[in-house]
Structure 1
Amino acid sequence: MNNIQNIVRIDECAMTPKYLQLINSILEGIQSGEIKKNDLLPSINELSCTLETARSTIERAYNELKRMGLVTSVAGKGYFIVQTCFHKPAKVLLLFNKLSIHKKMIYDAFAATLGTEGAIDFYIYNNDYQVLRKILDEKNGYYEKCVIIPNFNEDKEMGYELIDSLPKKKLILMDKLAQGISGNFGAVYEDFENDIYSALVQLKDRLDKYHTIKLVFPRDTYHSTKIIRGFRRFCQQYSFNHQILSCVHNEKIEPGCVYINLVEDDLVILIEKMIEGKFRVGKDVGVISYNEVPIKKIILDGITTISTDFALMGEKTAELVLKNSAERIAIPFKVTLRNSL
């Protein structure tokens, strides 16, 4: 039992739920032969104390191992390993640049699609090259697949160079393809230029009642500049006055303008200015917001959104893991027309 307590571990820095970390540790111990058939697992109280983790977390992990047929419980005696033969799940290192509602949608769909076929270790590197390098130096050799959303606030080229150095048979990029990362690897991504162009074409009938379209593209954003290219292509082809704004703090709202925001902070500022100026949204001015979230159904009687299908992105990425595929899949944008336009 003491040996098992030394094998199981929880990484407080990982975003992977603790009960899953515990399950994965026990599975790894079985695979390595350190945990054998008929071994007695630590009691829920003992392991809770050792790992400084809630009893409910240990109980949930043990119940899942029971469901998998690997563990049984005997009243008055505890939990025992009863089976050591099982399908080996793919070990996946999942690296997101940040947390958000949309990233949660991706993660939930990714984890649900993998199910018991994958063991996920999930980390956030906060758009920071140094943090990503530290995680990869410590973790990368232990995994069959490394799934990365490649976004950096600084040292972008160094970040891409680091990712490019990874074995391509392990690598899957999510969200975007990045210049400087080459080779035969899998990817599930947004086609930024064509996505915004196609979305605006779908909205053209509504846009025709405005004379100017303004894209709010923050100066220090990690968003792809291909968005600007697709935006300009649409405006030039259909003869719209257009402007790129790096900041909206000093923007004077004028009738006849449509604003496209990429980040939620800018949306809040725009809405405040429109309410203060008593503009009728959807009549005097228009708003198009990137990325669908439930609250946008309600704000201003509905905000028009253009958005990637984040759940589909997670599902398709998991499928690449399960198929060990180097396929590249573009996830199309979805337009949701509401009263803000």
Structure 2
Amino acid sequence: MEFTFELDNSSSQTKLQQLIHAINEAISNGTLKEGDFLPSVNKLSKSSGLSRDTIFKAYTTLKQRSVIASTPTKGYFVSNESFKVMVLLDDFSAFKEQLYGSFRNSLPENYSVDLLFHHYNPAVFEQLVLNSLGRYSMYVVMNIRNEGMEPVLKKIDPNKLLVLDMGKPGSPDIAYIVQDFEQAFLDCLKEGSHRIANYDEFNLVFPESTPHPKITMEVFKQFCEQQQFRHGLVSTIKNKSIKKGQAYLVIKDDDLVHIIKQCKKKGLLPGEDVGIISYNDSPMKEIVGNGITVISVDFEAMGQQAAHFVESKQKIFETLPSRLIMRGSL
């Protein structure tokens, strides 16, 4: 099937961006296959109304990206059926590395992936998304907020977008694989209540700067009141004196490290003198001390399912279950 192009005058993209996107799209959906020839510059200019200069620039850009190639006698053709994916994560951490490694290893070799980070900065997030439009066949994006989807994501074709980890998009058109920070979190706390009851006080370490959903604080308070546990909310663990008989639920890994160091300094044993639960599992937490008890989803499974969406183009609407993994720290 010969490639054709129709300009969309209502699009926010330039003519050049539209043409590049259309060719990439034709390759990703199978309209153009490896070895297929594109129309000549003159022919496409006549059929589409685009200038020869615009078409030549588009073809040159795609050649630089190794999407197409050319021969002096036959013209431009698809050099390989590669699929380019943007993965936009919030930040880099041990469990994000696990997720990304699982995602990348589950994709075929002809998929190339650009990994970017927004660090919860709305301006950076918006600019990265806007700059990506028309450059990728699929988009996997970690949202900034748990409460709702960032408006700029609506500029991405919903058939190509997967929202990951935080916040259901609120649209039946957009795929998602997310966590449940409410009922699933409460169920995990209830499962561990018999261990938590061994301590005099249960504290949630929740820094003001953390992007972790604030509903966590409400669920924690609800649980402790139901169980009649003495409890507290700690915003800065470095100002808290770690004492025997305390248990801690920790969101950030650097706060976890601080508690373990303080225990070691004071001769307190995690799991006996002090209880520790950490959010989000990683391989290191399996082996630190006698192991760190965690509340976590399976990030390898999240990566595998995200890869399946990218490869199959079949939409997924999944809330992964959180698990309480009991180890020696509680």
The match for 2:152 among 162, 176, 201 is 162
Gap change, CA 1:244 and 1:28, over 3 Å in 2: farther
* CA distance in structure 1 between the partners assigned to 2:215 and 2:315 by the alignment: 24
Q: Does 1:142 align with 2:132?
A: no
TM-score norm. by structure 1 comes to: 0.69
* CA distance in structure 1 between the partners assigned to 2:314 and 2:214 by the alignment: 28
Gap change, CA 1:136 and 1:31, over 3 Å in 2: farther
Conserved? CA contact 2:34–2:78, under 8 Å: no
Q: Secondary structure at the match of 2:258?
A: helix
Superposition map of 1:1-341 within 5 A: 88-116=81-109, 118-151=111-144, 160-177=150-167, 182-341=171-330
Conserved? CA contact 1:93–1:146, under 8 Å: yes
1:151-210 Cα offsets, whole Å, 9 max, x none, are 37xxx999812224433222210111157x645200011111123212212212211212
Q: Secondary structure at the match of 1:189?
A: strand
Gap change, CA 1:30 and 1:96, over 3 Å in 2: farther
* CA distance in structure 2 between the partners assigned to 1:30 and 1:215 by the alignment: 59
Conserved? CA contact 2:168–2:178, under 8 Å: no
Conserved? CA contact 2:98–2:282, under 8 Å: no
Conserved? CA contact 2:294–2:324, under 8 Å: yes
* CA distance in structure 2 between the partners assigned to 1:331 and 1:205 by the alignment: 25
Q: Secondary structure at the match of 1:267?
A: helix
* CA distance in structure 1 between the partners assigned to 2:154 and 2:212 by the alignment: 20
* CA distance in structure 2 between the partners assigned to 1:334 and 1:161 by the alignment: 31
Unaligned runs of 5+ in 2: 1-27, 40-65, 67-76
Conserved? CA contact 1:199–1:335, under 8 Å: yes
Conserved? CA contact 1:164–1:182, under 8 Å: no
Aligned amino acid, residue 295 of structure 2: I
Q: Secondary structure at the match of 2:108?
A: helix
Unaligned runs of 5+ in 1: 1-23, 35-61, 63-83
Q: Secondary structure at the match of 1:103?
A: helix
Q: Secondary structure at the match of 1:114?
A: coil
1:83-140 Cα offsets, whole Å, 9 max, x none, are x889845432211122222112111111222214633222222322222222222222
* CA distance in structure 2 between the partners assigned to 1:265 and 1:295 by the alignment: 13
Conserved? CA contact 1:91–1:145, under 8 Å: yes
Conserved? CA contact 2:250–2:277, under 8 Å: yes
Conserved? CA contact 1:188–1:328, under 8 Å: yes
* CA distance in structure 2 between the partners assigned to 1:322 and 1:299 by the alignment: 36
Deviation of 1:312 after TM superposition, in Å, equals 0.4
Gap change, CA 1:30 and 1:248, over 3 Å in 2: farther
Conserved? CA contact 1:193–1:231, under 8 Å: no
Conserved? CA contact 2:204–2:233, under 8 Å: yes
Deviation of 1:296 after TM superposition, in Å, equals 2.3
